[in-house]
Structure 1
Amino acid sequence: MRIVKKLLKYLVLLIVLIGIALYFFVQHLKPTYNGELNLSSLSDKVEVYYDDYGVPHIYAQNELDARRALGYVHAQDRLWQMEVIRRLAAGRLSELFGEKLIRTDKFFSGLGIEEASAKTIANLNKHSKAYKQTMAYIDGINQFIKNGPKPIEFYLVGLDKEEYTLNDVYNVFGYMAFSFAIAHKTDPLLTEIKEKLGADYLKELNITITENSTLIKNEVNHILEKGLANAVNDIYENLPISPFIGSNSWVIGADKTKNGKVILANDPHIGFSQPSVWYESHIKTPNYELYGYNLALTPFPLLGHNRKYGYGITMFENDDVDFYFEENNPQNKNEYKTVDGFKTYQVIDKEIKVKDSESVKYQIKVSEHGPLMNGIIEHITDERPIAMDWIYTKLNNKLLDACYGMSHSMSLYDFKEAAALIHAPGLNMMYGDADDNIAWFAAAKLYKLNDSVNPKVILNGASGTNEKVKYLDFSQNPQAINPKSNYVYSANNQPDSIDGRLYPGYYLPEDRAKRIVQLLEAKNDFTKEDVMVMINDVTSAVTPSIVENVLTSIKADDFNDNEKKAIQILQNWDGNYQLESIAPTIYNRFIYAFLVNTFKDEMGSSFNQFINTRLQKRMNAFQMAKDNSIWWDDISTQGKVETKQHIITKSIKDAVAFLENQLGKSIDEWTWNKVHTVEHKHPMGEIAALRSYFNVGPFEINGGSEVINNLGFKLDSTGYYQVAFGPSTRRVIDFSDIENSKSILPTGQSGNVLSKHYKDQAEKYNKGEFVPMLLNEKVIKGFKQKLEFKSTN
């Protein structure tokens, strides 16, 4: 008995010791926000004050020291995110997640991102400030890798820390550029429609811009001075990193604000994941200050502001990817036809290392247009070689200098010169300053094809007639400086004419743009609070007109009582997507049924590819307004030709029947909050036991597709609208009260699940609330959390 008691005591003691050890191990994994740390290569000490939301305010004597400290603190909060994104662009995710990511790795490693990075780095000016500060930032990351703890995710997947290089920084730029591109999701689909259904079907999908569409106007005035389709969609489904989607931004001139100073608003739309995409930081030296938002592994922010100026981005959505059918030499499959005779494909050997499995070796063929997708995407069944011509890998990459220049501008002239260095991805750069300048620049290297070339289908690569005719000078890009309207804006919509024509792209419909213009035109005394309300607006400017076109096409006698009540709710709807609204639930199910009944019979399996493209979003209003269309007829019904009335009537009935089965017979119970939710997913959350630990949410949330508070989702058969993307931050910068500018992140500043800042902004974000972006030194240095870096030199 004594032996048993002793064993029990020892067992209890062992459990206690294990618990204590586990406690201290977990504490060790948390980010260090207080105390002193050594950091080699500093010229002086660096002080980092953390505010209430975990934003580091870095005070240093020079920028090299500041960037080195930024690299360290960025890594301790976001090293897992850095690791995943560098592996994504390089095709190395299978090393972490195994065989299920081989297709994704094969795709990204075949795009030429790594080869383009290596070429760019070989030609960099190693004496430039941008280069030196970037290397200091990378050194800070690597010092954390050497001296700091591994994130818990590294233990879960069995990963050792690996130092970072400049290649990793450029690979992130490459992923960002490809994430913005849309042609790879659309061009193959349009080519299939053209070849299988004919030109008449394609013609109705190639929407032309009409006078009723909201165009971003070009206007340059004086500056003020006061001192492949389904397969690609499948690949995107498995990405553990957020893709870039869209965005809103507007800058209101001094004459339209109550306090007589510029106000800038920006909310880039990016796929939701955990951690969120942006990392906030504030750097202050005797000669420099900026509050910025950095992507993982990027030393200079894409969004930023200080007391003198502020800037933000939206996605331009220009077409910078063209696909070409190459023609192989019948006698030699390693050669392809050109106007100058047959040329030999470049062959690149690739290897993907796979966790718990053998490596995958393969080759990529590259023509003068670019890599062949046939060897990269397994789902390509077309025997014709398809090459991808991507502007990002074709031209000299100056993105590092562009980001440095925009974050170090002393004037609007400087900012414009920096924006002109961007060749890809296409970005709308939005600008406002304390001197009352406002501006918008569509930044990208634009080019012209022959007038007869349709860049939205796969082109003939052997003919020589589908090549780029010339590149445009930046002065010809869409832009506006201090326009007479006293505001500039962008919502990923079509810009006005360039060089006498509308530039091709994959622009989003006018919905958000139209609403932004409606609200901006309505008053001339905007305050910061007005703009904070506006950036959370959930009313569609277009859906009421779509509903009106729907209701003129039906007869009341064709519907039962519940269907009539649903129609009445739609008829009275102002386009508002509030949590307790019923109309959005009815409308979105109707839209799904409408798309199925209109397009699926002709498209077949390609319908699943079409339904969530920008092409589909642009089609809705146009198609609904048509009385006659080749798409109305259901080709699966023999001896009968359906009309618009048939399709609309059937779609309403289908929608109501589905909702009765899903949510019950009482329409009053069909509220938007029951079907529209958001969950910020972490890769570790794919494991059921870890979901609640790593994921943030799910939450009921208002907003919807193509309203200003653009919380978008994929349309599918489920009847649930799980938010896939939305504002990656909401920022409002008021130059009349710059120290009280506001922002919010979807979840939190830290990507370390053990940090108190992992999800401390989530509830505020869901409610449309904001937190301060602090610049006041007295306030900042009053925070108790202070990390001091001392040099070991």
Structure 2
Amino acid sequence: MGLLFRWLLRLAAGLIALAVAAVALVYYLASQSLPDYDQTQEVAGLTAPVEIVRDTHNVPHIFGASDPDVFFGLGYAHAQDRLWQMTMLRRTVQGRLSEVFGPRTVAIDRLLRRLDLARLAQQSVSAQDAYTTAALKAYAAGVNARLAEINDEALGRGAPEMFLFNAPVAPWQPADSLAIIKLMGLQLSGHLEEEVLRARTSLMLGDPARLVDILPDAPGTGTAALPEYAQLFPGLPRYAAGRDTPHDPLMPLPRRGLAGASNAWAAAPSRSASGGTLLANDPHLGFAAPSTWYLARLELANGGVIGGTIPGMPAVLLGRSERLGWGLTSSYMDDQDLFVERLNPDNPEEYLTPDGYKTFESRPSIIEIKGAAPITLTLRWTENGPVLPGSVYDLETITPPGHVMSLGWTMLDARDTSMSAALALINAGTVQEAIRASEAYVGPSQNLTLADRETVALKMVGAVPRRDPRHQSQGRLPAQGWRAENRWQGRMPYASNPEFVSPVGGILGNTNNKLLERPFPNHVSFVWGDTQRVTRWQKLMQSREVHTRDGFIEAQLDPVSPAARTLLPLIGADLWFTGEAAPEGTPERQRQIALSLLAEWNGEMSEHLPEPLIYAAWVRALQKRLITDELGPLADEYKQVEPLFIERVFRDIDGASVWCDIRQSAPRETCTEIARLALDDALVWIGDRYGSALESLRWGDAHQATHDHPVLGEVPVLRYFVNIRQSTSGGDHTLQRGRTSGEDPDPFRNVHGAGYRGVYDFADPDSSVFVISTGQSGHFLSRYYDDQAQLWRRGEYIPMSLDADLARAAAVGVTRLLPAPE
């Protein structure tokens, strides 16, 4: 027995030693790719030495003898810190993920191949101006210099992910940077899904007049009546079940409510306590580790520029120089239309046009799949755009037999000069120069908020489709592609894009809210990204005569929900303080406690309070009860709460209270009854998930920001090292926006928000501040992988200074790149 015990002990010790050795080996291999920030390298492609000074937070300050050399340095720095992220973006837009991930990503590759963004980007290279062409080539050379260094010195393949998903990394090309702009446009596009959902909902609703309830227009002048989708395409089933496939984090198509969003506002000197202009910006994107954003400073011939970049692109997309600041918010301009194309019944390779049947433009495309046989696609284009697969947003459910769907989209442009516009913007010195420079910008359409030392302005930039006033659906539903009045007729002139310069009140801003009211086809959009945050922003801006940098920071971090303040008095109007105190432990008592808490609440979505969780669970359960019997399984597509819908129902606007009645039941239910039942549903759900002690609940336990690694985030054990989870305040409709997922089992996970925050004060530019949501490095063993995450969570910032001496004084490393001898 003793002998057996000794051998078992030896075996266990051996296994432990092997495990320790394996961990040590993995750590050693992974750590090899950690960049050395304090070194001198000879590299090909430079004309003169470049210096990359890494400040305390690992923000590179890049100095060179010429602008191309500075862009070379940016490419090198991006590849040092975010090589895996860059290669993933490139593979995604090229439709080549399956070469690495196998069958899992075939659907993504199919879509991206059909959109053909990589080929369009390649064609756009020749459309750039000389300055941009030089910048793109130099940036690509900088990336490739880092790749050469990795190969020559065996630096762990450049990123730890490369060991798990080993695949060759091709040299970077100028077209790759242009393709990433188009990929970002796809991630920010929401109109495609809105058209599909509107069509599916139109088919499902028995009363077409109710469509405006569940898909309401932003407040303002109403929209003229539209045809019912079934009238455009008779014979379609009233409802067809969708695929209900889980969302892959690698899929660039956004889920509804998770396309682009953002905040930006500016104050003229007359409204600034310091006497200089102020600008604040926090663009909202899906959270990930690492963040989409990467902070950098470029010392160009026109002066220093500092702000947020996206690895893969040689541009400071939002930030400031000494003279000018710029911020971006998604404009929600309607830049996409779906066209239903009729196939020739005698020849399915032809489709109907206003001039008769024409042959599809088509070509084959082979998708290589790791661990499986390759597949060959036939890519087809019509005059309106590429033909999409029926799986995209369940297009097949609204496509009539004998037809296919094609997509019109402004970013399907082979002469896209958006990069030239972005680089012209960072060299602009005044608001007017910036507005002129942005004329070349195609997409994704943005509201550009600007501030120079004297002036503030907002200009919508991006190509706007010119639609015929006779368009059947006004671009809100898929339309018959063979009718001339439904087709695009070029672009609107840039001068017609909304523009606001030096407003009388001295304050301007945008929270993705409706900018203006124009009749179709000059309307900009019918779908806007916000109807709630803007009301809180207006209150904060109007409550003070003058503003400060710290006041703008306060506004960025404001957690008060105007939606909660509006909805609670409506849905609880007949429930507050009714009846005697119920016995402890009963559902009635739980309801009374919940209502008592909410009655004293001011709508602040603080992570430390119970009321935000009770409110959020209540309105979610309420919307589900209101729409399920009308929409059936389609109700699952409405994952986020729409405050305007609930408000319409409880105010009975145009008879909207009919949603409260359950059609399948004999009695006629009132809205008060449905509100009470929904509150009970919410409390049961909360009890099952978080316990019955309502006073002890914390919103932050449910509203955790999920900065997850898109590939390694679900790997057992490893996920604890690569994912960044944080308790957060805010919510769907707060200025400190933390958009919830809406998906079980964690519907209130914070998945979409401000990955970058910046506030710029032109009375003292070097007092400006910024921060990103994770850290500069994409390497999970780096101390800079998550060093800004806690600052971001606490609402803190880091200095945004162009003082070179300050950067050098606390540098964590200085990289010197020298031209290699020829």
Q: d(CA) in 1 for partners of 2:593 and 2:24?
A: 63
Q: d(CA) in 2 for partners of 1:207 and 1:229?
A: 24
Q: d(CA) in 2 for partners of 1:592 and 1:374?
A: 32
Q: d(CA) in 2 for partners of 1:142 and 1:44?
A: 17
Report if the CA contact (8 A) 1:181-1:319 is conserved: no
Q: d(CA) in 1 for partners of 2:535 and 2:299?
A: 39
Could you say which residue in structure 2 is the equivalent of 1:299? 314
Q: d(CA) in 1 for partners of 2:375 and 2:661?
A: 45
Q: d(CA) in 2 for partners of 1:643 and 1:236?
A: 40
Q: Among residues 674, 677, 683, which one is paired with 2:704 in the alignment?
A: 677
Q: Among residues 635, 638, 642, which one is paired with 1:610 in the alignment?
A: 638
Could you say which residue in structure 2 is the equivalent of 1:184? 192
User: What is the CA-CA distance between 1:235 and the residue it aligns to?
Assistant: 4.9
1:405 aligns with 2:414: no
User: What is the CA-CA distance between 1:518 and the residue it aligns to?
Assistant: 0.8
Q: d(CA) in 1 for partners of 2:391 and 2:571?
A: 43
Pick which of 774-783 and 500-509 moved more.
500-509
1:444 aligns with 2:459: no
Could you say which residue in structure 2 is the equivalent of 1:223? none
Spell out, residue by residue over 1:131-183, the C-alpha distance to the aligned partner (whole angstroms, 9 max, x if none). 11111001100111111232111111122322111221122111111111112
Could you say which residue in structure 1 is the equivalent of 2:43? 39
Counterpart residue identity of residue 239, structure 1: M
Q: Secondary structure at the match of 2:667?
A: coil
Could you say which residue in structure 1 is the equivalent of 2:800? 773
Distance 1:694 1:718, change over 3 A: closer
Q: Among residues 560, 563, 566, which one is paired with 1:539 in the alignment?
A: 560
User: What is the CA-CA distance between 1:251 and the residue it aligns to?
Assistant: 0.8
Spell out, residue by residue over 1:74-118, the C-alpha distance to the aligned partner (whole angstroms, 9 max, x if none). 101010000111111111111222211111111122123123223
Q: Among residues 133, 145, 148, which one is paired with 1:146 in the alignment?
A: 148
The 5-angstrom pairing of residues 311-322 of structure 1 reads 311-322=326-337
User: What is the CA-CA distance between 1:241 and the residue it aligns to?
Assistant: 10
The 5-angstrom pairing of residues 203-602 of structure 1 reads 203-210=212-219, 234-235=246-247, 237-239=249-251, 245-285=260-300, 287-374=302-389, 377=392, 379=394, 380-381=396-397, 382=399, 383=401, 384-394=403-413, 396-434=415-453, 436-446=454-464, 447-450=466-469, 453-469=473-489, 471-498=491-518, 502-552=523-573, 554=575, 556-557=578-579, 560-602=588-630
Report if the CA contact (8 A) 1:740-1:773 is conserved: yes
Q: Secondary structure at the match of 1:533?
A: helix
Q: Secondary structure at the match of 1:639?
A: coil
Please report the RMSD computed on the Cα atoms of aligned residues, expressed in angstroms.
2.9
Q: d(CA) in 2 for partners of 1:568 and 1:596?
A: 24
Q: Among residues 200, 206, 215, which one is paired with 2:209 in the alignment?
A: 200
Could you say which residue in structure 2 is the equivalent of 1:622? 648
Counterpart residue identity of residue 425, structure 2: M
User: What is the CA-CA distance between 1:766 and the residue it aligns to?
Assistant: 0.9
Report if the CA contact (8 A) 1:319-1:505 is conserved: yes
User: What is the CA-CA distance between 1:673 and the residue it aligns to?
Assistant: 2.2
Q: Unaligned 5+ residue runs, structure 2?
A: 1-13, 223-239, 581-586
User: What is the CA-CA distance between 1:492 and the residue it aligns to?
Assistant: 0.7
Spell out, residue by residue over 1:590-622, the C-alpha distance to the aligned partner (whole angstroms, 9 max, x if none). 111111111122222222222238xx4553433
Report if the CA contact (8 A) 2:124-2:414 is conserved: no
Q: d(CA) in 1 for partners of 2:181 and 2:534?
A: 28
Q: TM-score, normalised by structure 1?
A: 0.91
1:78 aligns with 2:78: no
Counterpart residue identity of residue 443, structure 1: V
Distance 1:598 1:17, change over 3 A: closer
Could you say which residue in structure 2 is the equivalent of 1:650? 677
Q: Secondary structure at the match of 2:742?
A: coil
Could you say which residue in structure 2 is the equivalent of 1:749? 776
Pick which of 546-555 and 266-275 moved more.
546-555
Report if the CA contact (8 A) 1:176-1:244 is conserved: no
Could you say which residue in structure 2 is the equivalent of 1:175? 183
Report if the CA contact (8 A) 1:63-1:285 is conserved: yes
Could you say which residue in structure 2 is the equivalent of 1:132? 134
User: What is the CA-CA distance between 1:23 and the residue it aligns to?
Assistant: 7.1
Q: TM-score, normalised by structure 2?
A: 0.88
Q: d(CA) in 2 for partners of 1:503 and 1:625?
A: 29
User: What is the CA-CA distance between 1:464 and the residue it aligns to?
Assistant: 2.4
The 5-angstrom pairing of residues 779-790 of structure 1 reads 779-784=806-811, 785-790=813-818
User: What is the CA-CA distance between 1:748 and the residue it aligns to?
Assistant: 0.4
Distance 1:740 1:400, change over 3 A: same
Could you say which residue in structure 1 is the equivalent of 2:234? none
Counterpart residue identity of residue 391, structure 1: T
Q: d(CA) in 2 for partners of 1:641 and 1:270?
A: 43
User: What is the CA-CA distance between 1:287 and the residue it aligns to?
Assistant: 4.0
Q: Unaligned 5+ residue runs, structure 1?
A: 1-9, 214-227
User: What is the CA-CA distance between 1:24 and the residue it aligns to?
Assistant: 6.2
Distance 1:625 1:353, change over 3 A: farther
Distance 1:674 1:375, change over 3 A: closer
Q: Secondary structure at the match of 2:749?
A: strand
Q: Among residues 154, 158, 163, which one is paired with 1:155 in the alignment?
A: 163
User: What is the CA-CA distance between 1:545 and the residue it aligns to?
Assistant: 1.3
Report if the CA contact (8 A) 1:546-1:625 is conserved: no
Counterpart residue identity of residue 369, structure 1: N
Q: Secondary structure at the match of 2:96?
A: coil
Counterpart residue identity of residue 30, structure 1: L
Q: Secondary structure at the match of 1:598?
A: helix
What percent identity do the matched residue pairs reach?
23
How many matched pairs?
A: 765
Q: d(CA) in 1 for partners of 2:23 and 2:695?
A: 52
Pick which of 669-678 and 546-555 moved more.
546-555
User: What is the CA-CA distance between 1:453 and the residue it aligns to?
Assistant: 3.0
Counterpart residue identity of residue 523, structure 1: R
Spell out, residue by residue over 1:243-288, the C-alpha distance to the aligned partner (whole angstroms, 9 max, x if none). 7530001011111111110111000001000110111111124543
Counterpart residue identity of residue 132, structure 2: A
Q: d(CA) in 2 for partners of 1:592 and 1:485?
A: 38
Spell out, residue by residue over 1:394-442, the C-alpha distance to the aligned partner (whole angstroms, 9 max, x if none). 47311111111111112222200122222221101111112x1101011
Distance 1:778 1:99, change over 3 A: same
Spell out, residue by residue over 1:175-195, the C-alpha distance to the aligned partner (whole angstroms, 9 max, x if none). 111111112222111112222
Spell out, residue by residue over 1:541-587, the C-alpha distance to the aligned partner (whole angstroms, 9 max, x if none). 23211111112355835982321221232232221011221221111
Pick which of 52-61 and 392-401 moved more.
392-401
Could you say which residue in structure 2 is the equivalent of 1:662? 689
Report if the CA contact (8 A) 2:290-2:777 is conserved: yes
Counterpart residue identity of residue 585, structure 1: L
Report if the CA contact (8 A) 1:118-1:167 is conserved: yes
User: What is the CA-CA distance between 1:343 and the residue it aligns to?
Assistant: 1.2
Spell out, residue by residue over 1:322-352, the C-alpha distance to the aligned partner (whole angstroms, 9 max, x if none). 1111111111111112221111112231221
Distance 1:194 1:778, change over 3 A: same
Q: Secondary structure at the match of 1:145?
A: helix
Q: Secondary structure at the match of 1:726?
A: strand
Q: Secondary structure at the match of 1:110?
A: helix
